[in-house]
Structure 1
Amino acid sequence: MAVAPRVRVDGVGKRYEGSNGPVQALDGVSFDVADGEFVCIVGPSGCGKTTLFRIIAGLEPATTGRVVLDGDRVDGPSTDLGLVFQEYHLFPWRTVAGNVGFGLEQEGVATAERERRVDELLELVGLDGFVDTYPRDLSGGMKQRVALARALAVDPGLLLMDEPFGAVDAQTKKMLQDELLDIWRETGKTILFVTHDVEEAVKLADRVVVMAKEPGRVREVVDVGIERPRERSDDAFGATYQRLLDLI
């Protein structure tokens, strides 16, 4: 019997009323993400990647179509969906532990269990020595690790990430990519990752959803099919990178 996908994006369209009339931002976007799969979404500026992210996250409604997560239609924000943005959105008045444990507090998790879970996650992201540190004293890469730990805290079915490494330098970006792959392998999470960086998509993804614009739509879904770890200097990496660029 076929296994249902973790995520199904089914004919999603989005129309806005613009100053010069209606604007079709997305049209008939459809793809599935299997349980435990790492899928990247890439495309040119203006193809609706961020709009699609917001619809999948339940932050705004689709005009047509639907998003289904674990068999349930997404009609708004859900604790079964962990969100990580390019901007860290950490609470400056809370410590690292306080930020990571916020969602658990909202769910009424007992203090002892919450502290155990926070300690476990901070060890997972390599910040176990920064429990009582405030965001102002962290580097950009460390802040993003806190944001990732916070998203994982409530054990969501899907980790949805929008350009999460876009604001850090190249060296930190590579380190965070490697750490994310380690966390993905260790947790078995399903990850849907939006990026404008084609090289990043080839390095991270099992499959890449390539979008076209005017209106935003799926042009092709590419199976990367390269054994990890992947290096830019490998012939297969270069060929896949060029194929994605040609599609975009």
Structure 2
Amino acid sequence: MARVSGRDHDGDGSRATPARRVAVDGVSKTYAGDDGPVHALADVSFDVTDGEFVCIVGPSGCGKTTLFRIIAGLEEATDGEVSLSGDPVDGPSRDLGIVFQEYHLFPWRTVRGNVGFGLEQTDMDESERADRVDELIDLVGLDGFTNSYPPQLSGGMKQRVALARALAVDPELLLMDEPFGAVDAQTRAMLHEELLEVWEATRKTVLFVTHDVEEAVTLADRVVVMAADPGRVREVVDVGLDRPRERTDPGFAEYVERIRGLIGE
């Protein structure tokens, strides 16, 4: 099931020019520290095209989470701008679906209640909401758990609920911050497969933050490699491998070593 997202062909067989969905332009972030200003990010710039899956990796302290929060509209940049479909991001929006490492599910709501929460704030009628929730629960493979509560679910299942909830309002961009960091390796591998299936089905633009280089190479069309002190883009690596990707493939190992080398510089 190989596909290069966001790079569809025109009717004449030529490649269409992908639309720029996300633009990070010259983003810098400075905090006031006890010993003077702390420069968390410096002149970070990159684009994400429509339907593309992009991962952000880098060493500890490179500002990945700060950058994520700025893109999500949860924090303001000191300089520069983030835009979504040409409009500046100036706060949280329904155009941004967010999945964190912590599930942030409502323990008193069922799977159905959690997935449908965002839809309750829209003008969608009750029947449409029910159909949308059923569609998403099926999409993430949670049929049979509709009426279960979060304490009854495994970590992987909770994260699938969080993913379905983020997709419910049909956002333009899906932002994921270390979403599989709290699950075991076997569950993570399964979630990788399921996430790619969801991505193929929805054609969403995805920006995924991770510290795991192998995870990034497994998932991404491109990998934004960041450096620290201050946080900045060292290089953007195009991953030219068909999907599904096998970690035993020599080409996979070459990308992993290349990105690890960039992080270690």
Q: Hey, what does 1:224 align to over in structure 2? A: 239
Q: Hey, what does 2:8 align to over in structure 1? A: none
**Aligned equivalent of 1:32, options 31, 40, 47:** 47
Task: Determine if the alignment matches structure 1 residue 12 to structure 2 residue 12.
Answer: no
Q: Gaps (5+ residues) in structure 2?
A: 1-15
SS in 2 for 1:227: coil
Q: Pairwise mapping of residues 1-248 of structure 1 onto structure 2 (< 5 A)? A: 3-248=18-263
Q: Distance in 2 between matches of 1:17 and 1:217?
A: 19
Q: What letter is aligned with 2:176?
A: M
Deviations 1:66-121 (A, max 9, x none): 00001110000000000000000000111100000000001232111101000000
SS in 1 for 2:196: helix
SS in 2 for 1:115: helix
Kindly state the Cα deviation for residue 4 of structure 1 after the two structures are TM-superposed.
3.7
Deviations 1:109-147 (A, max 9, x none): 211110100000000000021111110100000000000
Output the TM-score relative to the length of structure 2. Answer: 0.92
Q: Gaps (5+ residues) in structure 1?
A: none
Q: Distance in 2 between matches of 1:40 and 1:2?
A: 21
Q: What letter is aligned with 1:100?
A: V
Deviations 1:10-41 (A, max 9, x none): 00000000111110000000000000000000
Q: Distance in 2 between matches of 1:210 and 1:115?
A: 41
Q: What letter is aligned with 2:170?
A: D
Kindly state the Cα deviation for residue 2 of structure 1 after the two structures are TM-superposed.
5.3
Q: CA RMSD in A?
A: 0.9
Q: What letter is aligned with 2:117?
A: F
SS in 2 for 1:75: coil
Paired residue total:
248
Deviations 1:198-220 (A, max 9, x none): 00000000000000000000000
Q: Percent identity?
A: 74
Q: Distance in 2 between matches of 1:238 and 1:21?
A: 42
Output the TM-score relative to the length of structure 1. Answer: 0.99
* Deviation beyond 6 Å, 4+ runs, structure 1: none
